[in-house]
Amino acid sequence: MKKTTTYLADGRRLIYYDSRDDADRTAPDRRPLPPVATASEIRHDPLLGDHVAIASHRQDRTYLPPADACPLCPTREGHPSEIPADGYDVAVFENRFPSLAGDSGRCEVVCFTSDHDASFADLTEDRAALVLAAWTDRTAALHQLPEVAQVFCFENRGAEIGVTLGHPHGQIYAYPFTTPRTARMLDALAAHRTATGANLFDATVARERADGTRVVLETAHWTAFVPYAAHWPYEVHLYPRRRVPDLTALDDAARTEFPQVYLELLRRFDRIFGAGDGQGPDADATARTPYIAAWHQAPVRADDRGEFALHLELFTIRRTAGKLKFLAGSESGMNVFINDVPPEAAAQRLREVATK
């Protein structure tokens, strides 16, 4: 992997990750960009203990541009973009409209490919491995910042999710606090250790593997399953077989196998409603399945980092072809999810649509 760091016209950092050592990334950003002006502020909710990012400048961010005006495509004649090069493998840059900025954290954009019409599921295994390397490299770098408490790599796909740029990309948020969801996991982890002397993540994965009804696929180094109490209609958790706290701690064997496993999961997600094959009662071959893919990593300076288990949660808000799972009264008002698809049925469907 070749890593090249440069800067955009307004001073934001841009990093190219290339599979070729001879890639030339010297093209400058010639746009007359004004300095980045952000108004990000973190506010604490004393009743719930949550943090809320107030970021009014994001009202002006680019919203659903046509493909020929996409800011994540390579620069071409008459169309300067966030990527000055005329082509790239993987590129990471600081978001011009960040939710978190300065002492309130960092936000970066990860472009998976220069092909505007592709999806992560269309990548080769080599390219997926390069994305994993970029996630890992940025996790390690952001861990070094004193204001960062937790690093979150994720991808939103689909307009149904709220994606405002159609180009295949994800994001990295570096929070100045431990997120509420992670804090709840840490509390449950500590309580289980006190009660049983065992690790809750290990026990959860072992239970799913022993039961088998919710396991979607298993390999030598990864296990993917639908959780017993899945919140979303189709939700898969992916764990390395060897527990590690974050992406930087994955061993070479797990890294080597990850692209094959993850691409297979994404392709099955594209087939659960018939997309890609046009078959079955839920067939919807006109649209890719919208999803969120979220890496859960241990907080940077947690005392019990070694107890935390790196894992990826992949889920869709689609419950059947043409129907979405909306977060209505119970979910949004009381944070009590109601799932219309039994986890066992979801796992069975994801096993049936194997692409191999």
* Whether 192 is catalytic: no
Position 20, amino acid: R
From 51, 143, 167, 169, the catalytic residue? 169
* Residue 90, strand partner residues: 17
Distance CA 151, CA 165 (A): 22
Position 288, amino acid: R
Distance CA 321, CA 149 (A): 39
Strands in the chain per DSSP E: 2-7, 13-18, 40-44, 51-55, 90-94, 106-111, 150-157, 169-175, 215-218, 222-225, 234-240, 291-296, 311-316, 318-320, 323-324
Structure tokens at 54: 């107030």
Distance CA 40, CA 54 (A): 6
Of 167, 138, 154, 164, the closest CA to residue 63 belongs to 164
DSSP code, position 221: S
Catalytic site residues? Answer: 169
